[in-house]
């Protein structure tokens, strides 16, 4: 249970889709002009991530990984189909999005009306494919954890778009330099928010867990030999931009 | 550009500045920000996108009359995914270290909005040659921003360009470091990419008032 809680908070705050890995930036910037639409898209992202990440986990586990086909029989144990993962993942996502759209339209017209227009957009949202790819590269061990990871990342993305939409609604009344208005200031605000989110970095490990040092960290340490730089590199490691696991 | 008519060369030149995919059309931001801490990664990413967008645009343009419009998104995704798998395998074979740095972001070219955006907006309505030029133009526009961001982040963040130290040795205190210059490690962190792009947008829009949003 504890690992679920840990992964949940980790995926919301520390590895936040938008602020730590910049996934789903396109729709994040395009649909964040009003809070109400941002909430709609955010909810749809949570929904789709919660479905596609576990589904792709099953696909990865029983079809794509090296040796995943061993359930078919001994002679299939050597097969490695992992080069197909991009195409399988994106096909799953595209079909699931379509399916979800049909099901939601049939059973809950009111939900469809609020999510409806955003669902097709989501098939090409990098946050969705990114969720599955990170699930694969971080080797999440069980189906339950994969679901937790999907929901957690979705909520993280939801919080991010909600926050920026609220700020953009307010900033309309501020005197921003003309050339920065709109896109420019949104970028800079997002950058500042990302710096803020970095402070969640030590939240779970509490600094007592000695994670293996990444090559990059070692390199910077060697080159600069300065405490400050080491600190910075450690931050970027906890930020998980360079996934080495 | 003697080879190309005026209209064709506009297809290539427009996305480089006034209709830049990143700063004006707001497409393909994700990858632009995440991998620009080093110049080399930015260049490789740009070349990958150039390849995928150039070829993808031609393929979609050739198929534009036979794709049923209801399932066109899935068809487009499959075309891009195939091209991206090629890029991924080539990178893994010839530049393994780099492909580890880029990690999932090569895969994310599939959902890079530039690609889908250009398919939808251009390749579905134009012939293969013009689509090819449009693809190359937009990929170059993307590359320009990536390379500018990568250049500044690597230069100011670690004092190197393409891994070669250009500002002197920070430990021996030679070059610029002898007069007390320090690397700004902050530039290596991901949020700075956003702020650098924000500044590029600021500069670009101050120079061209027509682009200012109200």
DSSP string, B158-209: HSEETTEE-S--TTTT-GGGGGT----GGGGSHHHHHHHHHHHHHHHHHH-G
Asked if residues A224 and A199 have their Cβ atoms less than 8 Å apart, the reply is: no
Q: Does B162 touch chain A (CB under 8 A)?
A: no
Among B residues 132-151, those touching chain A with beta carbons less than 8 Å apart: none
Cα-Cα-Cα-Cα dihedral sign, residues B159, B164, B166, B171? positive
* Residue A226 in this model has a pLDDT that exceeds 50: no
Q: What is the mean pLDDT of residues A144-167?
A: 91
The mean predicted confidence, pLDDT, of chain B is 80
Q: Does B171 touch chain A (CB under 8 A)?
A: yes
Distance CA A83, CA A71 (A): 19
Distance CA A164, CA A14 (A): 18
Lowest mean pLDDT among A91-105, A135-149, B42-56: A91-105
Q: What is the mean pLDDT of residues A230-234?
A: 48
CA distance to partner chain A, nearest, from residue B137 (Å): 20
Q: Does A82 touch chain B (CB under 8 A)?
A: no
Instruction: Look at A241 and B29 and tell me if their CB atoms are within 8 Å.
Output: no
Q: Does A49 touch chain B (CB under 8 A)?
A: no
Instruction: Look at A86 and B110 and tell me if their CB atoms are within 8 Å.
Output: yes
Q: Which residue of B has its CA nearest to A180?
A: B202
Distance CA A207, CA A202 (A): 6
ipTM for this prediction:
0.78
Best mean pLDDT range from A103-117, A155-169, A229-243: A155-169
Query: How many residue pairs bridge chain A and chain B with CB atoms within 8 Å of each other?
Result: 175
Q: What is the mean pLDDT of residues A4-30?
A: 83
Burial B59-94 (b: 16+ CB within 10 A, else e): bbbebbeebeeeebbbbbbebbbbbbbebbeebeee
**Most distant CA atoms of chain A, gap in Å:** 69
Give the best residue of A191, A223, A232 to mutate against chain B (max B CB count within 10 A): A191
Distance CA A189, CA A213 (A): 31
Q: Count the helix, strand and coil residues of chain A and give each as a percent rounded to the nearest 5.
A: 75, 0, 25
CA distance to partner chain A, nearest, from residue B122 (Å): 17
Among B residues 73-132, those touching chain A with beta carbons less than 8 Å apart: 73-74, 77-78, 81-82, 84-85, 88-89, 100-101, 103-104, 107-108, 110-113, 116
Distance CA A21, CA B35 (A): 10
Asked if residues A238 and A217 have their Cβ atoms less than 8 Å apart, the reply is: no
Q: What is the mean pLDDT of residues A175-192?
A: 84
- pLDDT class of B2 with cuts at 50, 70, 90: low
Residue B165: phi and psi, rounded to 5, are -65, 125
* Residue A94 in this model has a pLDDT that exceeds 50: yes
Instruction: Look at B78 and A242 and tell me if their CB atoms are within 8 Å.
Output: no
Q: Count other Cβ atoms within 10 Å, centred on residue A147.
A: 19
Give the best residue of B71, B100, B113, B186 to mutate against chain A (max A CB count within 10 A): B113
| Top-confidence residue, B180 or A38 | A38
Asked if residues B27 and B114 have their Cβ atoms less than 8 Å apart, the reply is: yes
Torsion of CA B158, B162, B168, B171, to 10 degrees: 50
Task: Name, in order, each residue with C-beta under 8 angstroms of A217's C-beta and a sequence gap of 6 or more.
Answer: A230, A233, A234, A237
- pLDDT class of A241 with cuts at 50, 70, 90: very low
- What does the pLDDT read at residue A228? 46
- What does the pLDDT read at residue A151? 92
Among B73, B158, B195, beta carbon nearest to A123: B73
Share of chain A above pLDDT 70, in %: 78
- What does the pLDDT read at residue A155? 93
* Residue A190 in this model has a pLDDT that exceeds 80: yes
Beta strand pairing call for B164-165 and B160-161: antiparallel
pTM of the model: 0.77
């Amino acid at each position: 249970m504890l690992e679920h809680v840990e992964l949940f908070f980790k995926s919301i705050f520390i590895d936040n889709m938008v602020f730590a890995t910049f996934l789903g930036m396109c729709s994040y910037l395009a649909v964040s002009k009003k809070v109400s639409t941002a909430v709609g898209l955010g909810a749809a992202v949570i929904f789709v991530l919660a479905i596609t990440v576990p589904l792709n986990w099953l696909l990865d586990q029983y079809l794509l990984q090296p040796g995943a086909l061993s359930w078919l029989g001994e002679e299939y144990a050597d097969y490695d189909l992992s080069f197909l993962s991009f195409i399988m993942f994106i096909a799953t996502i595209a079909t699931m999005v379509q399916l979800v759209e049909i099901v939601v339209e049939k059973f809950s017209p009111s939900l469809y009306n609020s999510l409806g227009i955003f669902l097709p957009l989501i098939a090409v949202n990098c946050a969705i494919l990114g969720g599955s790819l990170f699930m694969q590269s971080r080797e999440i061990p069980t189906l339950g954890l994969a679901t937790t990871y999907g929901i957690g990342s979705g909520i993280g993305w939801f919080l991010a778009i909600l926050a920026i939409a609220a700020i953009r609604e307010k900033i309309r009344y501020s005197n921003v330099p003309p050339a920065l208005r709109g896109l420019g200031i949104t970028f800079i605000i997002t950058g500042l928010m990302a710096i803020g989110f970095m402070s969640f970095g030590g939240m779970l490990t509490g600094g007592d867990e000695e994670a293996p040092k990444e090559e990059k960290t070692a390199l910077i340490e060697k080159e600069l030999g300065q405490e400050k730089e080491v600190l910075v590199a450690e931050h970027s490691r906890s930020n998980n931009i360079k996934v080495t696991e | 550009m003697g080879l190309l008519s005026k209209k064709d060369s506009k297809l290539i030149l427009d996305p480089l500045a006034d209709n830049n995919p990143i700063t004006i059309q707001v497409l393909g931001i994700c990858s632009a920000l995440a991998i620009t801490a080093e110049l080399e990664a930015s260049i490789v990413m740009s070349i990958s996108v150039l390849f995928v967008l150039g070829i993808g645009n031609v393929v979609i343009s050739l198929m534009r009359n036979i794709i049923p419009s209801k399932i066109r998104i899935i068809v487009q995704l499959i075309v891009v995914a195939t091209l991206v798998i090629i890029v991924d395998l080539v990178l893994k074979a010839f530049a393994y270290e780099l492909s580890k740095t880029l990690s999932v972001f090569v895969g994310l070219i599939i959902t890079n909005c530039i690609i889908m955006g250009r398919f939808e907006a251009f390749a579905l309505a134009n012939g293969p040659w013009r689509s090819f030029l449009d693809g190359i133009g937009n990929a170059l526009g993307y590359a320009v921003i990536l390379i500018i961001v990568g250049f500044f982040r690597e230069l100011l963040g670690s004092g190197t360009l393409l891994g070669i130290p250009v500002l002197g040795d920070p430990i021996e205190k030679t070059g610029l470091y002898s007069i007390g210059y320090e690397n700004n490690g902050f530039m290596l962190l991901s949020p700075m990419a956003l702020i650098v792009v924000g500044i590029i947008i600021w500069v670009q829009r101050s120079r061209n008032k027509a682009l200012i949003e109200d």
